[in-house]
Structure 1
Protein backbone atom coordinates (compact mmCIF):
# COMPACT_ATOMS: atom_id res chain seq x y z
CA UNK A 1 0.00 0.00 0.00
CA UNK A 2 2.67 2.50 1.01
CA UNK A 3 4.75 2.04 -2.15
CA UNK A 4 1.69 2.63 -4.32
CA UNK A 5 0.68 5.81 -2.51
CA UNK A 6 4.07 7.51 -2.41
CA UNK A 7 4.43 8.38 -6.15
CA UNK A 8 0.88 9.75 -6.11
CA UNK A 9 1.68 11.96 -3.13
CA UNK A 10 4.85 13.22 -4.82
CA UNK A 11 2.89 13.95 -8.00
CA UNK A 12 0.25 15.84 -6.04
CA UNK A 13 2.92 17.81 -4.19
CA UNK A 14 4.63 18.67 -7.48
CA UNK A 15 1.32 19.80 -9.01
CA UNK A 16 0.56 21.98 -5.98
CA UNK A 17 4.06 23.49 -6.11
CA UNK A 18 3.70 24.25 -9.83
CA UNK A 19 0.31 25.89 -9.21
CA UNK A 20 1.77 27.92 -6.34
CA UNK A 21 4.67 29.11 -8.53
CA UNK A 22 2.29 30.10 -11.35
CA UNK A 23 0.03 31.96 -8.91
CA UNK A 24 3.00 33.74 -7.30
CA UNK A 25 4.41 34.69 -10.72
CA UNK A 26 1.07 36.06 -11.96
CA UNK A 27 0.52 38.06 -8.76
CA UNK A 28 4.07 39.43 -8.96
CA UNK A 29 3.57 40.42 -12.62
CA UNK A 30 0.29 42.21 -11.79
CA UNK A 31 1.92 43.91 -8.79
CA UNK A 32 4.90 45.12 -10.88
CA UNK A 33 2.63 46.36 -13.68
CA UNK A 34 0.45 48.16 -11.13
CA UNK A 35 3.47 49.88 -9.51
CA UNK A 36 5.04 50.85 -12.86
CA UNK A 37 1.93 52.79 -13.97
Structure 2
Protein backbone atom coordinates (compact mmCIF):
# COMPACT_ATOMS: atom_id res chain seq x y z
CA UNK A 1 0.00 0.00 0.00
CA UNK A 2 1.31 3.44 -0.87
CA UNK A 3 1.84 5.95 1.88
CA UNK A 4 0.29 9.37 1.48
CA UNK A 5 2.59 12.28 2.07
CA UNK A 6 1.11 15.46 3.44
CA UNK A 7 2.83 18.73 2.74
CA UNK A 8 2.77 20.80 5.91
CA UNK A 9 5.31 23.43 4.89
CA UNK A 10 2.71 25.58 3.15
CA UNK A 11 1.94 28.93 4.72
CA UNK A 12 -1.76 29.60 5.14
CA UNK A 13 -1.57 33.29 5.87
CA UNK A 14 -4.70 35.28 5.20
CA UNK A 15 -4.27 38.93 4.41
CA UNK A 16 -7.01 41.30 5.44
CA UNK A 17 -7.46 43.39 2.32
CA UNK A 18 -11.16 44.07 2.72
CA UNK A 19 -12.15 47.62 3.50
CA UNK A 20 -15.29 48.31 5.48
CA UNK A 21 -15.82 51.82 4.09
CA UNK A 22 -18.29 50.56 1.50
CA UNK A 23 -20.17 48.61 4.15
CA UNK A 24 -20.41 51.68 6.37
CA UNK A 25 -21.74 53.79 3.50
CA UNK A 26 -24.29 51.11 2.59
CA UNK A 27 -25.53 50.91 6.18
CA UNK A 28 -25.85 54.70 6.35
CA UNK A 29 -27.83 54.82 3.10
CA UNK A 30 -30.09 52.00 4.26
CA UNK A 31 -30.66 53.72 7.62
CA UNK A 32 -31.49 57.03 5.93
CA UNK A 33 -33.90 55.25 3.58
CA UNK A 34 -35.66 53.54 6.50
CA UNK A 35 -35.92 56.80 8.47
CA UNK A 36 -37.29 58.72 5.47
CA UNK A 37 -39.80 55.95 4.80
CA UNK A 38 -41.03 55.90 8.41
CA UNK A 39 -41.30 59.69 8.58
CA UNK A 40 -43.23 59.87 5.31
CA UNK A 41 -45.64 57.12 6.44
CA UNK A 42 -46.08 58.93 9.77
CA UNK A 43 -46.94 62.20 8.01
CA UNK A 44 -49.38 60.37 5.73
CA UNK A 45 -51.05 58.89 8.83
CA UNK A 46 -51.21 62.24 10.65
CA UNK A 47 -52.52 64.02 7.55
CA UNK A 48 -55.54 61.69 7.32
CA UNK A 49 -56.85 62.76 10.77
Report the TM-score range of the alignment, normalised by the length of the smaller protein. 0.7 to 0.9
Partner of 1:33: 44
Q: What number of residue pairs does the alignment pair up?
A: 34
The ranges of structure 1 where at least 4 consecutive aligned residues each deviate by more than 6 angstroms after the TM superposition are none
What do residues 1-37 of structure 1 show as CA deviations (whole Å, max 9, x unaligned)? 46x23xx211000000000000000000000000000
TM-score calculated relative to the size of structure 1: 0.79
Residue segments in structure 2 that go unaligned for 5+ positions in a row? 1-14
Residue segments in structure 1 that go unaligned for 5+ positions in a row? none
Structure in which a larger fraction of residues adopt helix: 1
The CA RMSD over aligned residues, in Å, is: 1.2
